């Protein structure tokens, strides 16, 4: 009787379960259920309608959705094999970025998703899966991409690269025009005259006044200057020098068929133009350790500060500094912009006068004294432009290589499709 009751109870439970779901695809060691395919199809149609796009023929849509599910399953198996994990922090940061693209905070974004009939939990899982797939794709494709310096240079100099990078130059010039009876002796005399003019400018003559006094082009528009032109619109003899020039630099003499030129880069503009202030710093670091207490470290740095008023800071750094990176270089660090060092280190660099030794201070690394040896403004536009060009070329090659890699992986994987669109 007891067994009969159990059987009847089991039948009641089983009668409420839907067993229509079947295996849709076998992919290597995993499976895709038919319900997953149907759900993905429904979601694809929903997204097409939401974006106002035309729904393609059923067979075409089915094949595309199915192939994406198969490829995602292959990559997720690889993610598991490679031990790829996405932390909660990384996932939350991605969700916050997605929400901010719609000008919403995370709470508002969650409410929006649930209002549209989806659960935030399932949305989180979708994003987590996408992040894992991207991580696998990156790991498979990145090692196959090689971009040479010459490729970067060619791209920057191409019309496409120029349009994207869009740097414009403002050039003032003085032209000493050659006479019709030109010979080498006259050329040499004009070059020497250009050198004398540059010396006058170095001694205080304004470049505009030098143009009015000496240039053949002084009656031309903009006194013969080349204003706000891209590199392809600038004479090649100027172009070669411009890349190594900073704003307000003067260069000459430059020889062309027309004569001898002196040029001044009076302006440069564009999205990629940036000048940063950099500091060259010398320091001593004293760390605490098992054999040196906090008090001992502080006493030592105070003693070194007193000695540095009379002794060479570089020699003291070689003997006492605990910074292995700068110790052998007399305590000198590399040129660095603001924001590279520890917060207290940065504050001291800003506060101390050039060539003066700071009073002892503490950072997260230990106790220091430092001296700012030099400060400069460096035009890092060229590095930014190269980074931007590299990024464009990398993304292009990545997408090309990704497609090839995915096709290779797909062809090598065991896939048994058991369902059809009908």
> Which has more pLDDT, 383 or 372?
372
Are 186 and 179 in contact, with CB atoms under 8 Å apart?
yes
Q: What is the pLDDT of residues 239-291, one digit of tens each?
A: 878 877 888 999 999 999 899 999 999 988 877 777 788 999 999 999 998 89
- The average confidence (pLDDT) of the chain is 88
Question: Phi and psi dihedrals of 258, rounded to 5?
Answer: -85, -30
Sign of CA dihedral 307, 312, 318, 324: positive
pLDDT for 126 beyond 60:
yes
Buried b / exposed e over 213-247, threshold 16 CB at 10 Å, is ebbebeeeeebbbbeeeebeebbeebeebbeebeb
pLDDT for 29 beyond 70:
yes
pLDDT for 231 beyond 90:
no
When pLDDT is cut at 50, 70 and 90, the band that residue 4 belongs to is very low
When pLDDT is cut at 50, 70 and 90, the band that residue 13 belongs to is very low
Q: What is the pLDDT of residues 344-359, one digit of tens each?
A: 999 999 999 999 999 9
**What is the structure's pLDDT at 307?**
96
**What is the structure's pLDDT at 208?**
93
DSSP percent split of the chain into helix, strand, coil, nearest 5: 55, 20, 25
**What is the structure's pLDDT at 20?**
67
| Pair of tokens at residue 356 | 């003066």
Sign of CA dihedral 186, 188, 189, 190: positive
Q: What is the pTM of this model?
A: 0.54
For tokens 């050659």, the residue is 178
Ordered domains of the chain (ranges, CATH): 168-269 (3.10.50.40), 276-379 (3.10.50.40)
The one-character DSSP state at 220 is S
Between the alpha carbon of residue 112 and those of residues 95, 122, 173, 241, the distances in Å are: 13, 14, 60, 56
> Which has more pLDDT, 138 or 272?
138
> Which has more pLDDT, 64 or 161?
64
Query: Percentage of residues in the chain with pLDDT exceeding 70?
Result: 94
């Amino acid at each position: 009787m007891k067994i009969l009751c159990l059987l009847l109870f089991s039948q009641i439970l089983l009668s409420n379960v839907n067993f229509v779901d079947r295996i849709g695809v076998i992919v290597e060691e995993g499976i895709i259920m038919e319900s997953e395919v149907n759900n993905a199809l429904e979601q694809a149609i929903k997204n097409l309608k939401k974006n106002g796009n035309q729904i393609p023929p059923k067979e075409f849509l089915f094949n595309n959705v199915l192939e994406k599910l198969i490829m995602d399953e292959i990559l997720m198996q690889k993610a598991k094999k490679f031990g790829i994990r996405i932390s909660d922090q990384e996932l939350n940061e991605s969700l916050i970025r997605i929400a901010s693209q719609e000008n919403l905070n995370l709470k508002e974004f969650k409410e929006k998703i649930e209002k549209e009939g989806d659960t935030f939990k399932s949305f989180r899982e979708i994003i987590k899966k996408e992040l894992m797939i991207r991580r696998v794709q990156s790991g498979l494709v990145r090692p196959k991409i090689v971009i040479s310096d010459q490729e970067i240079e060619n791209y920057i100099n191409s019309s496409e690269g120029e349009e994207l990078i869009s740097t414009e130059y403002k050039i003032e010039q003085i032209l000493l025009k050659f006479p019709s009876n030109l010979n080498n002796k006259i050329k040499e005399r004009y070059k020497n005259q250009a050198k004398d003019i540059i010396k006058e400018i170095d001694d205080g003559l304004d470049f505009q006044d030098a143009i009015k006094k000496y240039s053949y082009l002084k009656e031309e528009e903009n006194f013969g200057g080349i204003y706000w032109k891209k590199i392809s619109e600038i004479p090649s003899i100027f172009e070669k020098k411009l890349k190594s020039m900073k704003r307000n630099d003067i260069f000459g003499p430059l020889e062309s068929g027309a004569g001898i030129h002196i040029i001044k880069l009076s302006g440069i503009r564009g999205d990629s133009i940036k000048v940063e202030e950099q500091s060259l710093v010398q320091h001593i670091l004293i760390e605490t350790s098992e054999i040196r207490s906090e008090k001992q470290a502080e006493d030592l740095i105070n003693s070194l500060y007193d000695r540095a008023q009379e002794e060479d800071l570089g020699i003291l750094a070689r003997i006492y500094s605990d910074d292995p990176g700068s110790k052998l270089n007399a305590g000198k660090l590399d040129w660095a912009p603001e924001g590279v060092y520890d917060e207290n280190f940065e504050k001291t660099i800003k506060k101390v006068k050039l060539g003066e030794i700071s009073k002892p201070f503490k950072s997260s690394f230990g106790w220091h004294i430092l001296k700012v040896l030099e400060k400069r403004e460096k035009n890092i536009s060229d590095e930014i432009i190269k980074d931007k060009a590299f990024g464009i070329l990398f993304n292009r090659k990545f997408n090309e290589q990704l497609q090839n890699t995915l096709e290779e992986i797909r062809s090598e994987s065991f896939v048994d499709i058991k369902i059809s669109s009908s």
